[in-house]
């Protein structure tokens, strides 16, 4: 139990480091978040307003800050003997830290990249990671949902429902339930201006057809 408590704290503190802000300063893009629509200190804005290298480094470090605490706990901690709910808190801790960071007055990002890092930390178990990736890809390409606000909501909720049905690891499912709750809270309390929900089947193909008709 002591080991689990330590990993929960380490995971939360690891998540509380917002690399988008750090690399924005290193690349002299201090106004990066002010230029963005949602002011989110995350990977997408780092790419869009900070440039390729700022975005790439933010993505890598956001993934790693979720991956390492979970991977170390699963392989060298007390995951095998801990209650599933305790293990779930360890897995969710970096995402909670990113969304409500101690070092930034609890005003953080959406936690998407960190979520992928945490689920990757469950390796060799990859079912939860693949489920979340499947729905994000599906709702970004096949059944395209815009804006990102709604795409994130649908991806997390559909992933959670699927995990309840398909994933046997109780700790993994409970952790994603906690993560989903934290992400949804972050989305709904944000001051991001929300545009109308749009859903398009094979959105890219439809765009090509529309452009051809105009030509």
DSSP state of 29: -
- How far does CA 65 lie from the centroid of its chain? 12
What is the count of structural domains for the chain? 1
Distance CA 137, CA 204 (A): 13
Residue 143: other Cβ atoms inside 10 A: 15
Contact 4, 87 (CB under 8 A): yes
Q: Which pair of tokens denotes residue 120?
A: 């990757």
pLDDT digit string, tens, across residues 132-179: 999 999 999 999 999 999 999 999 999 999 999 999 999 999 999 999
Pairing outcome for strands 143-146 and 198-201: antiparallel
pLDDT digit string, tens, across residues 48-62: 889 999 999 999 999
Residue ranges making up the domain that contains 181 = 2-214
């Amino acid at each position: 139990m002591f080991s689990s408590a330590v990993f929960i704290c380490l995971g939360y503190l690891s998540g509380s480091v917002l690399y988008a802000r750090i690399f924005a300063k290193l690349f002299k893009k201090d106004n990066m978040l002010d230029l963005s629509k949602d002011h989110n200190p995350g990977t997408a804005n780092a790419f869009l307003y900070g440039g390729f290298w700022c975005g790439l480094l933010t993505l890598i470090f956001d993934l790693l800050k979720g991956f390492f605490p979970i991977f170390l706990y699963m392989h060298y901690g007390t995951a095998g003997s801990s209650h599933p709910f305790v293990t779930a808190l360890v897995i969710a801790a970096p995402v909670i830290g990113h969304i409500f960071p101690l070092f930034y007055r609890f005003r953080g990002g959406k936690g998407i990249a960190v979520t992928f890092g945490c689920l990757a930390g469950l390796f060799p178990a990859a079912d939860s990671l693949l489920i979340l990736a499947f729905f994000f890809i599906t709702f970004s390409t096949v059944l395209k949902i815009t804006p990102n606000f709604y795409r994130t909501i649908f991806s997390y909720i559909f992933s959670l429902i699927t995990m309840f049905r398909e994933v046997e690891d109780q700790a993994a499912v409970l952790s994603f339930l906690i993560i989903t709750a934290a992400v949804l809270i972050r989305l709904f309390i944000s001051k991001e201006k929300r545009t109308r929900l749009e859903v398009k089947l094979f959105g890219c193909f439809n765009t090509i057809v529309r452009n051809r008709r105009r030509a």
